[in-house]
Chains A and B, each alone.
Chain A
Amino acid sequence: MRRTVSRIRKRIDMPSQDPAERRRNFQEVALGYSPEEAVEEASRCIHCPKQPCVAGCPVEIDIPSFLKLIAEEKFGEAAAKIKEKNSLPAICGRVCPQENQCEGVCTLGKRGEPIAIGALERFAADWERLNAAEQKLPEAGKQEGKVAVVGSGPAGLTVAAELARMGYEVTVFEALHVPGGVLSYGIPEFRLPKDIVRHEIEYVQSLGVKLLTNVVVGRTITVDQLFDEGYDAIFIGAGAGLPHFLNIPGENLNGVFSANEFLTRVNLMKAYEFPEYDTPVKLGKKVIVVGAGNTAMDAARNALRLGSEVTIVYRRSRQEMPARLAEIHHAEEEGIEFRLLTNPIRIIGEDGWVKAMECIRMELGEPDQSGRRRPVPVPGSEFVLECDSVIIAVGQSPNPILTKNLPGLEMTKWGTVVVDPETMQTSIPGIFAGGDIISGGTTVIEAMGDGKKAARGISAYLQQKARV
């Protein structure tokens, strides 16, 4: 057994910016493989017959084939192979939680380290972009049917790209002035550079997808009007854009933000370049971020880069933190402090501004519905943390602007849209949904997986409609 283990070569680490350096700039943290590193890493794949990685990928990328192409230095072909299944490879290569998906089930991982599939996907996509070596995918014939896609986040872009490649006419409606949804307003520049998001969206447009910004479906145009205008099917991928607050005293003091507001100001509106960009953001010296998901890590690391000292306050323990392990490590390396088993109970103000936060110590009790041990307060353990700003990152629910104006649309008690898990069709025929609006909030790749399924569901619906 021992000898087998030693035969598995070590994974090639992707270089990244030094923590001491990167904590003060907004440039990308991970730097990507060189061609030599990529070839070496890709050639570690043993091409096992079961291919568990493919089953582990929500968008079914033919991973062994693209790894083989990289190992053979056919980088452009590797990118084309990925794009057969995934139109946003440079994005996915950066933000997918591969450790829970393709890499999590990699055969090599049983005896050693799994192949760095995400890093290699990123490499192939970046290589293609930097070398302007885009290969045209074979075009499908035209299909009868016009589809409206609401929201240009990961789910919407995927549905649109898939349907366009099948030959349907697709228009994407985006409420904000920039497309991309969470890819643009939520995920920071240092984790997902906006030039890359722009480039991949342009790729989706090059497939024939029409994209309209500043259209708030439900307000600017209603779903009924879309049907009246001749759209045959509608996909709702409007995301989970309603931020949760803690409902504790002091939450409307100046200096308290939702993570969405803070991230939107910084990532979308480029407040870190104020006054060149007009949108300001104001953080004090000491910032507390409440929550421990990926959004909390993104907010904390953005705040750090704006020059603040940052503490994450989370009511459960390290094991329950929902953020990707890599993000937690990055945050720690950069000097973010973690106060675990700590729950805010009150934000204390002075002259209308945040001054401190009163917290209580927690301990873990019996498992709750989520299977995680329920945090319970330790009586009499209240204490005060000084701070000037508070960022609340404790989750969100679907944005109700569109759904509340759609009578007959079946919803859960959490405000998410109910869909058929196979076709992604909602309770209203011809209306499909996917992404955070059905899940309440997961990952970019899960939303893309939904988009992929929805595209098939919509295509089947349109085919059937055409026959009638």
Chain B
Amino acid sequence: MYRIVDKRELADKITLFVLDAPLVAANARPGQFVILRVDEQGERIPLTIASTEGGKVTIVVQEVGKTTAHLRSKEIGDALADVAGPLGTPAHIEKLGTVVCVAGGVGTAIIYPEAKAFKEAGNKVITLMGARNKSLLFFTDELAQVSDRIIYATDDGSFGHHGFVTDLLQQLIDEGTTIDLVVAIGPIPMMRATCELTKKYGIKTVVSLNPVMVDGTGMCGACRVTVGGETKFCCTDGPEFDGHLVDFDELAARNCQYVDKERLSYSMYEEKRGCGGRCHG
């Protein structure tokens, strides 16, 4: 069992959990993820590690379906059935010069340890942070601390630039900023738009993908993605890839495979939760 030692609401339906998982924490590096199960009937879901400290692993969860809703209902002191990791190939961190971290939505949590690592490796870090609206922004202080410069954008203009993170990136490029690497982590449309932009300027761009996974150890191939015309297993070859080579259309289509079942499961859970679970025994 893996005990929840801290829990914090970060933004609308986005929650931070600190888990007691010393084995995972001991070897985790930026870019890696865990696979967890909430309970004995639970599915295995991948969640990227936001940070580790003293045998504890921090994850950030956005509620998108039953499993994430169930997880968010757990409190400090509760235990999760399983937490396995760290999984995936760690991010490649080196001194390059200027690294622009483009964070969208819950991707902010994933990009944080990388921004920090790039900063510690001696890079100038510029963070571009975007969300639909102000209430969905989180980790602003944490990211500001590890960034030389941080700029915000919201889709509705409620905070920072009114528009998308790609507008901010375009601005940086127009200002003549030398950019050695872009790391873009967030929703698929945002990563795709970022890659389209940087490709035009020949700026190397790394993205972190989040396809459907089952085992997370390379055994099942559910997470296969096409990168540069080749099939890769995101769980072992990734989750980070050269964004200019990723087939985002295929990824988006594959992520919709279970939408109907996910909706059913979520609505059943919501219904049960609506009555506090009492009417379902």
Residues of B within 8 A of A463 (CB): none
Give the contacting residue for B218; candidates A242, A254, A264; CB below 8 A: A242
Q: Which of A185, A247, A275, A276 has the most CB of B within 10 A?
A: A275
Cβ-defined contact, A254 with B256, below 8 A: yes
Residue B37, interface by CB 8 Å: yes
Bound CA span A220–B29, Å? 11
Contacts of A399 in B (CB 8 A): 217-219
**A31 in the interface (beta carbon within 8 A):** no
**Residue contact A252 to B224, C-beta cutoff 8 Å:** yes
Name 14 A/B residue pairs within 8 A (Cβ), A-sorted: A177-B84, A185-B219, A225-B27, A243-B221, A254-B256, A254-B257, A264-B219, A264-B220, A265-B214, A275-B264, A278-B41, A279-B43, A352-B253, A401-B217
Q: B276 CB to closest chain A CB, in angstroms? A: 19
Nearest CB on A from B25, distance (A): 10
Interface residue ranges, B against A (CB under 8 Å)? 23-24, 26-27, 32, 37, 41-44, 66-67, 81-87, 214-215, 217-222, 224-226, 231, 236, 250, 253-254, 256-258, 261-262, 264-265, 268
Would you give the 0/1 interface string for A240-278, flagging 1 where the beta carbon is closer than 8 Å to chain B? 011101010001101101101100110001100011111
Minimum C-beta distance from A220 to chain B (A): 5
Closest residue of chain B to A260 (Cβ to Cβ) is B220
Decide if A216 touches B85 in the complex (CB within 8 Å): yes
Most interface-central of B85, B219, B236, B250 (chain A CB within 10 A): B219
- B87 CB contact (under 8 Å) in A219, A264, A265, A400: A219
Asked whether any CB of chain B lies closer than 8 Å to the CB of A135, the reply is no
**Interface presence of A280 (CB below 8 A):** yes
B-facing mask of A262-306, CB < 8 A → 1, else 0? 001100011000111111101000000000000000000000000
Is the beta-carbon distance between A258 and B41 smaller than 8 angstroms?
A: no
Contacts of A242 in B (CB 8 A): 218-219
Contact partner, A176, options B27, B215, B221, B253, Cβ 8 Å: B215
- Closest 4 pairs between A and B when the two form their complex, measured CB to CB: A280-B261, A261-B220, A241-B219, A352-B253
- Selected from B214, B250, B256, B262, the residue in CB contact (under 8 A) with A261 is B214
Q: Which residue from B27, B37, B44 sits with its C-beta under 8 Å from A221?
A: B27
- Indicate if the CB atoms of A254 and B41 lie closer than 8 Å: no
Residues in A with CB closer than 8 Å to B27 are: 219-222, 225
CA distance A94 to B43 in the complex (A): 28
| Distance of A225 Cα from B254 Cα, bound (Å) | 37
User: How near does chain B come to A106, taking the closest CB pair, in angstroms?
Assistant: 37
Closest beta carbon of chain B to A311's beta carbon, Å: 21
Return A14 CB to nearest CB of chain B, in Å: 33
CB distance from A231 to the nearest CB of B (A): 15
A400 to B221 alpha-carbon distance, docked (Å): 14
The smallest C-beta distance from B229 to any residue of chain A, in angstroms, reads 11
Taking the complex as formed, is A214 at the interface, i.e. its CB lies under 8 A from any CB of chain B? yes
Kindly state the interface size class of chain A when it binds its partner. 35 or more
CA distance A384 to B225 in the complex (A): 26
CB neighbours (8 Å) of B44 from chain A are: 177, 269, 279
Q: Once the chains bind, are A175 and B84 in contact (CB under 8 Å)?
A: yes
Which residues of the partner chain B approach A177 to less than 8 Å between Cβ atoms? 37, 44, 81-82, 84
Give chain B residues whose Cβ lies under 8 Å from the Cβ of A269. Answer: 43-44, 214
CB contact between A280 and one of B82, B226, B258 (< 8 Å): that residue: B258
Contact A219 B86, beta carbon cutoff 8 Å: yes
User: B84 to chain A: which residues have CB within 8 Å?
Assistant: 175-177, 214-216, 220
Residues of A within 8 A of B (CB): 175-177, 185, 213-216, 219-222, 225, 241-243, 245, 247, 251-252, 254-255, 257-258, 260-261, 264-265, 269-270, 274-280, 282, 352, 399-401
Q: In the complex the two chains form, is A401's CB within 8 Å of B218's CB?
A: yes
What are the residues of chain B within 8 A of A255 when measuring CB–CB? 257
A264 to B214, alpha carbons, bound, how many Å? 8
- Nearest chain B CB to A402's CB is how many angstroms away? 10
> Could you tell me the distance between the alpha carbons of A401 and B236 in the complex, rounded to whole angstroms?
8
Task: Report Cα–Cα, A270/B214, bound state, in Å.
Answer: 12
Chain B residues lying within 8 Å of A282, measured Cβ to Cβ, are: 257-258, 261
Query: Are B217's CB and A274's CB within 8 A?
Result: no
Residues from chain B with Cβ under 8 Å of A274 in the complex = 261, 265
List A contacts of B222 (CB < 8 A). Answer: 257-258, 261
What 13 new A-B contacts, CB under 8 Å, besides A219-B87, A277-B43? Answer: A175-B217, A177-B44, A214-B84, A219-B27, A221-B27, A225-B27, A252-B224, A257-B221, A269-B43, A276-B41, A278-B66, A278-B265, A401-B236
- Minimum distance in angstroms from B250 CB to a CB of chain A: 6
Q: Do B226 and A258 touch across chains, with their CB atoms under 8 A apart?
A: no
- CB pair B24–A280 under 8 Å, yes or no, is no
Q: Contact between A252 and B23 (Cβ–Cβ < 8 Å)? A: no
- Minimum distance in angstroms from A244 CB to a CB of chain B: 9
Kindly state the separation between the CA atoms of A257 and B258 in the bound complex, as whole angstroms. Answer: 13
Contact A214 B268 (CB under 8 A): no
A180 nearest CB across to chain B (Å): 14
B85: chain A residues at CB < 8 Å are: 216, 219-220
Measured CB to CB, the nearest residue on chain A to B233 is: A242
A276–B280 Cα gap in the complex (Å)?
A: 12
Closest to A247 in B: B231
Provide the bound-state CA to CA distance between A275 and B215, in Å. 19
Residues of B within 8 A of A401 (CB): 217-218, 236
B254 touches A278 (CB 8 A): no
Shortest distance from the beta carbon of A398 to any chain B beta carbon, whole Å? 10
B221 contact set on A, CB distance < 8 A: 243, 245, 257-258, 260-261
Task: Decide if B41 touches A220 in the complex (CB within 8 Å).
Answer: no
Of A214, A245, A247, most B-chain CB atoms within 10 Å: A214
A175 to B214, CA, bound (A): 12
Q: How far, in angstroms, from A188 to B140 measured CA to CA in the complex?
A: 49
Which residue of the partner chain, among A219, A220, A278, A352, contacts B43 with CB atoms under 8 Å?
Answer: A278
**What A residues does B87 contact at CB under 8 A?**
216, 219
* A217 CB → nearest B CB, Å: 10
CB closest residue in chain B, given A218: B217
Q: Which B residues lie within 8 Å of A251 (CB)?
A: 231
Closest-CB distance, A376 to chain B (whole angstroms): 26
Known A219-B85, A220-B86; contact A278-B231, beta-carbon cutoff 8 A: no
Asked if A243 and B257 make an inter-chain contact with CB atoms under 8 angstroms apart, the answer reads no
